[in-house]
Structure 1
């Protein structure tokens, strides 16, 4: 279903993005921006591949991620550079206006893209992410979250691990925090085995030079632009609090908030049918 290729998007520095695409249908194009960021796009292929009949799916790995260009200087891994790559990718592929889905960290990049090139975006989906800043006390009192995050915390403090080995180990250790339903855990762990993990963005993060991905005053700016926005979230998301979603929709007249019950951060795995149906209805 997917064709895979590398696409040059920058000459200075030289950057090629690894891109998976479905065959172009008569319908529209959707750009999918993965999270991490030191992951790749593959954990999002399902259930989105079911949209291939009405959308051409474009699913790149961000610079430094997956099978895209690695080994850049630490200051070349920035949200702004990622957005420039994505706009260049759309240009090279001959895409005009597209629907955009940003997942988790990719949701922050998607907001930046919609604000940097609003004419390129038809509809915007912010999935398992947030537009508003997360309050420091957002998860206070949620004891199950603390318990489920214990294994991941131990991995990040393990000095014997580094590079992609560390990123992968942390992803596996956080599985019970990212997937809410035990029945979905096996599917999620299977997807993790297929991800080409990196640690390129981890270096500038630990060095304290990685700029924040969240655009300043994003809710007001997106409201002014007026894109139709879908805020799609799992009720039990332990990364970005679901409680912010309804409030965010109140600030953006063109936004709709949908919170899926019995779903964690990886809501597209916990409740794949409901998640996909919501996406498909919004894109009509």
Structure 2
């Protein structure tokens, strides 16, 4: 190490060179620290942007499917409510009018199949998204899962049991290709196209033969024999409330639950309180 006397005796150009080297070293350290801080800040901004993008994508998924899910869930829950508690099926299944008798069977199966078709489209669109990014999609998929469980479980009595794979297969059968401004896409079959395929396509009809044959059992089984469909209807109403929390699209009187309307006739297992999902 140089002492003061050596430094004093140094030639000016050497002193200047040493000082320049020191300044360069300090400058390099400062630059490195600044670059590190810039990298950290940029990474944090990128993470926030990524999180915002995930939330935006999840919110867009909800907005896209809100209306079709609402109306298909409402159509199914309404048919179950009227069929089990309001005598709709009893009135038309054996009314003597062949057209009405077929309608009440095929349309009852259709509203179930239509709902499963929209679930299949929803499943396809959410495959690569983080559906937990926002509360709305978390709640949506939680309650949709409850409706799927009601159909699939063997712990509840009643018609229309469909395992998860069968639910998906029916959902796939209910889709048709179409063109949009963004390119090829899919939509769910309408009732007329559904009936036409039942008449014209034996392999398509085979997937629905059992369900069609079980429609009369809904009417004859009463509340005790329809535990599955009572649970399904009850959960579908919760889905409708979730999608229309302020009754802007459907009045409250059209969202009646079988469990709530007939507590003395519903088995205790179906009357047990369940955790309500958040509404938004």
TM over 0.5: no
Task: Identify which of structures 1 and 2 has the higher relative contact order when contacts are C-alpha pairs closer than 8 Å and 6+ apart.
Answer: 2
Higher helix share: 2
TM bucket, shorter chain: under 0.3
Higher strand share: 1
TM-score, L = length of structure 2? 0.22
